[in-house]
């Protein structure tokens, strides 16, 4: 079996799990977790455009997520705008915000300075959301945010709403993954990667660093806003807590534990986060974050590239043997599993 | 009309005059050599020409147009392409990917083209593959196509750097110490490569410490010392020039 075949097999398996899962889970509460996995996978993928593809960091991504949620919630709740248009408006607003921020910040700043600028902007958005009571509902936030109206009935098949939101989130996730995959092999994707790899060399072969970084940053924020809008409509409420750093930390964890710079990483990271989070629900917030801190630390020490890339390189090592030997922990695991026994015998 | 012309070019770093009133004209089709002791301003000159540093005064004319004050990527779009003193390739990418990424200026597919893999996009990708093959054959890296650039030897990385610069489709190339760290054999190969590049109609300006390379290929040579031009002429004229010899061997300044 070649690596490419293994890749397709993995993709088909993941898709099969995603399609079967809602039928196996009987309670609406469990299906809700599936929706959250999809939404945070989209958010993680959007943050990873900045982290993995651009090699930069934005602390303002939770704010972008929150702005998306607020925009769609405010429009649908206060102005009676249809939910679908609210979601589109959330994308538009966050695209615009991302463009302005990117254009201002990315002309001069990179890495650490960019992290600080985006951190400051995130703090401003939080203060505004708390203070502008008439628009955002202040600390209590907005409640009874309407869910998207699902009246999909095709070929006699009527979708019930708790299912329907999952299909919506899953569809958006799949489109996102496909779009980012194509983006990687596009002229823009290559330009962005060349800037990440060596900015001076990239400009000396005609790539404008500001132009392409602003494009990538804008796309990332628009996608983050979309995820935020879906989150607001899914939960049914929006409050300033979404703008706080804990959402940022969750997104960061999803990207780092799952694996930055890969498509599967944030998706797997999101699944790991929500499944572990559910197991720990009884423990209370403080202990949960303590345990997540431990998981993050362990993954940085043992799987510095993240879970998904380590799994992928272990898989290609197992199936083909020609790829680079996986290092450290993933090899340790491979050698001690039944698959590992097969490898050791060769 | 000269392809590149510098008029009274000055570059100050605070109180230090790094380039002192440099005048220069390079004709199309030349291999022009730029020499000078360490710290004489060679790389600064190259950085000013390619927009990495703004000139303090004076002008840079490329094909008759002023390019002073343009950004590096804008100058690259004019097909004036440089290399770097410290070998610069995309280290984490493969040899093939390096050239694909460096072909930015030769491609024009849109994001929609790649999203929906339109016929136009597929055609361009095929052309890019042919281009990679051609450039790898030209620089002698055919069998390294799928190697990571980080795993190439120092000489091979220099070859890849040339391939990357050529992928940007230059009319003029500025090479910053291309022979640094090369064996005698690799230097000979490099000299042939630079001459082949010139035969393709690409004007070359080369900064180099290695006199064998400089004297072997350059039609004209300029020598800088303390940021000022102290000599210009053919290889023989430079080799016997008193000012050049004393600059290199440490005679009195201006002797």
ipTM of the complex: 0.86
Q: Looking up tokens 């602390």, which residue turns up? A: A59
Q: Are residues B54 and B121 in the same domain?
A: no
Pairing between β-strand B65-66 and β-strand B57-62 as defined by DSSP bridges:
antiparallel
Q: Are residues B58 and B116 in the same domain?
A: no
Inter-chain touch A186–B100, beta carbons under 8 Å: no
Structural domain containing residue B103: 90-169
Is the residue at B63 inside a domain?
yes
Q: How much is the pLDDT for B205?
A: 93
Q: Are residues B179 and B64 in the same domain?
A: yes
Is the residue at B85 inside a domain?
no
DSSP state of B180: T
**B80 in helix, strand or coil?**
strand
* Distance in Å, alpha carbon of A225 to nearest chain B alpha carbon: 21
Q: How much is the pLDDT for A329?
A: 47
* Pick from B52, B92, B104: CB nearest A206: B104
What's the whole-number average pLDDT of chain A? 80
Beta bridge partners of B229: B224
The Cα B232–Cα B218 span in angstroms is: 12
For chain A, domain boundaries: 27-244
Is the residue at B27 inside a domain?
yes
Residue of B89, B114, B122 to mutate when probing chain A, most A C-beta within 10 A: B114
Inter-chain touch A197–B109, beta carbons under 8 Å: no
Q: Are residues B70 and B196 in the same domain?
A: yes
Of all residues in chain A, the one with the smallest CA distance to B82 is: A204
Of B85 and A321, more confident:
B85
The Cα A58–Cα A43 span in angstroms is: 13
Is-contact B100 B109, C-beta < 8 A?
no
Is the residue at B84 inside a domain?
no
Q: Are residues B218 and B248 in the same domain?
A: yes
Inter-chain touch A186–B50, beta carbons under 8 Å: no
Angle value at C-alpha B135, between B132 and B141, nearest 5 degrees = 95
Percent of chain A with pLDDT over 90: 17
Q: Which helix (H) or strand (E) holds A290?
A: helix A285-302
* Distance in Å, alpha carbon of B77 to nearest chain A alpha carbon: 5
CATH classification of the domain holding B251: 3.40.50.300
Residue of B48, B49, B101 to mutate when probing chain A, most A C-beta within 10 A: B101
Q: Interhelix angle for A161-184 vs A3-24, to 10°?
A: 160
DSSP state of B108: -
Residue of A107, A201, A309 to mutate when probing chain B, most B C-beta within 10 A: A201
Q: Are residues B174 and B164 in the same domain?
A: no
Residue of B52, B67, B73 to mutate when probing chain A, most A C-beta within 10 A: B73
Q: Which of B111, B142, B169 is the last residue of a domain?
A: B169
Of A160 and A137, more confident:
A137
One digit per residue, the tens of pLDDT, for chain B of length 255 reads: 888 888 888 888 888 888 888 888 888 989 999 988 888 888 999 999 999 999 998 889 898 888 888 999 999 988 999 998 888 888 888 888 888 888 888 777 777 777 777 888 888 888 888 888 888 888 888 888 888 888 888 888 888 888 899 988 899 999 998 888 788 888 888 899 899 999 989 999 999 888 888 888 888 888 888 888 888 888 888 888 788 888 877 765 544
Inter-chain touch B84–A204, beta carbons under 8 Å: yes
Which residues on A lie below 8 Å from B92 (Cβ)? 197
Q: Which of B169, B197, B226 is the last residue of a domain?
A: B169
The Cα A259–Cα A47 span in angstroms is: 12
Inter-chain touch A206–B77, beta carbons under 8 Å: yes
Residue B223, both tokens = 């020598």
* Pick from B76, B88, B101: CB nearest A190: B101
* Pick from A188, A197, A203: CB nearest B76: A203
Those residues of chain B whose CB sits closer than 8 Å to some CB in chain A are: 50, 52, 71-74, 76-77, 81-84, 88-93, 100-102, 104-105, 107-111, 113-115, 117, 164-165, 167-168
Kindly tell me the burial class for residue A285, based on how many C-beta atoms sit within 10 Å of its own C-beta (0-12, 13-18, 19 or more).
Answer: exposed
- Count of domains forming chain B: 2
Is the residue at B97 inside a domain?
yes
Inter-chain touch A187–B104, beta carbons under 8 Å: yes
- Supply the pTM of this predicted model: 0.84
pLDDT-derived band at A151 (thresholds 50, 70, 90) equals low
The Cα B139–Cα B136 span in angstroms is: 5
The Cα B76–Cα A205 span in angstroms is: 6
Q: Which residues, including other chains, have CB under 8 Å from residue B129's CB and lie 6 or more apart?
A: none
| Mean pLDDT lowest among A65-79, A156-170, A188-202, A326-340 | A326-340
The Cα B8–Cα B6 span in angstroms is: 7
Q: Which of B141, B169, B197 is the last residue of a domain?
A: B169
DSSP state of A261: T
Q: Are residues B13 and B127 in the same domain?
A: no
């Amino acid at each position: 079996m070649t690596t490419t075949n293994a890749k397709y097999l993995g993709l088909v398996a993941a898709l099969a799990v995603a399609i079967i899962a809602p039928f196996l889970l009987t309670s609406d509460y469990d299906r809700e977790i599936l929706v959250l996995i999809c939404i945070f996978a989209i958010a993680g993928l959007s943050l990873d455009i900045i982290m993995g593809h651009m090699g930069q960091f934005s602390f303002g991504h939770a704010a972008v997520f929150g702005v998306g949620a607020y925009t769609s919630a405010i429009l649908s709740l206060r102005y009676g705008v249809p939910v679908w248009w609210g979601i589109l408006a959330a994308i538009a607003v966050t695209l615009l915000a991302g463009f302005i921020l990117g254009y201002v910040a990315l002309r001069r700043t990179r890495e650490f300075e960019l992290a600080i600028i985006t951190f400051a902007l995130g703090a401003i958005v939080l203060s505004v959301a708390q203070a502008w009571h008439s628009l955002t509902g202040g600390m209590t936030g907005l409640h009874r945010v309407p869910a998207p109206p699902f009246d999909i009935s095709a070929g006699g098949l009527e979708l019930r709403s708790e299912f329907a939101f999952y299909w919506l989130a899953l569809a958006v996730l799949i489109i996102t993954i496909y779009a980012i995959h194509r983006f990687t092999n596009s002229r823009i994707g290559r330009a962005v990667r060349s800037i990440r790899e060596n900015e001076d060399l990239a400009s000396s072969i005609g790539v404008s660093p500001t132009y392409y970084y602003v494009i990538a940053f804008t796309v990332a924020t628009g996608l983050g806003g979309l995820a935020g809008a879906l989150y607001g409509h899914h939960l049914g409420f929006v409050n300033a807590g979404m703008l706080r750093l804990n959402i940022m930390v969750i997104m960061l964890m999803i990207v780092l534990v799952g694996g930055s710079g890969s498509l599967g990483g944030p998706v797997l990271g999101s699944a790991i986060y929500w499944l572990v989070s559910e197991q720990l629900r009884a423990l209370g917030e403080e202990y949960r974050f303590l345990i997540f801190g431990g998981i993050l630390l362990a993954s940085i020490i043992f799987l510095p590239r993240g879970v998904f890339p380590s799994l992928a390189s272990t898989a290609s090592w197992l199936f083909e043997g020609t790829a680079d030997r996986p290092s450290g922990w993933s090899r340790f695991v491979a050698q001690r599993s039944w698959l590992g026994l097969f490898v050791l015998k060769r | 009309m000269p392809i590149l012309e510098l008029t009274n070019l000055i570059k100050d770093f605070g109180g230090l005059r790094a380039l002192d009133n440099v005048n220069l004209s390079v004709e199309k089709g030349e291999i022009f050599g730029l020499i000078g002791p360490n710290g004489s301003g060679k790389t600064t000159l190259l950085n000013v020409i390619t927009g990495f540093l703004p000139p303090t005064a004076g002008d840079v004319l490329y094909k008759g147009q002023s390019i002073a004050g343009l950004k590096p990527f804008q100058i690259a779009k004019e097909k004036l392409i440089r290399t770097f003193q410290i070998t610069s390739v995309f280290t984490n990418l493969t040899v093939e990917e390096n050239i694909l990424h460096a072909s930015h200026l030769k491609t024009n597919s849109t994001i929609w083209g790649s999203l929906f893999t339109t016929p136009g996009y597929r055609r361009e990708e095929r052309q890019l593959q042919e281009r990679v093959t051609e450039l790898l054959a030209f620089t002698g890296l055919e069998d390294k196509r799928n190697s990571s650039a980080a795993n190439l030897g120092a000489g091979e990385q220099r070859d890849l750097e040339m391939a990357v610069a050529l992928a940007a489709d230059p009319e003029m190339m500025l090479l910053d110490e291309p022979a640094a760290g090369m064996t005698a054999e690799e230097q000979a190969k490099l000299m042939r490569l630079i001459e082949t590049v010139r035969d393709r109609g690409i004007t070359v300006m080369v900064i180099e410490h290695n006199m064998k390379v400089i004297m072997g290929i350059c039609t004209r040579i300029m020598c800088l010392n303390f940021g000022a031009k102290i000599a210009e002429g053919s290889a023989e004229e430079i080799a016997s020039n008193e000012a050049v010899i004393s600059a290199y061997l440490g005679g009195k300044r201006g002797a």
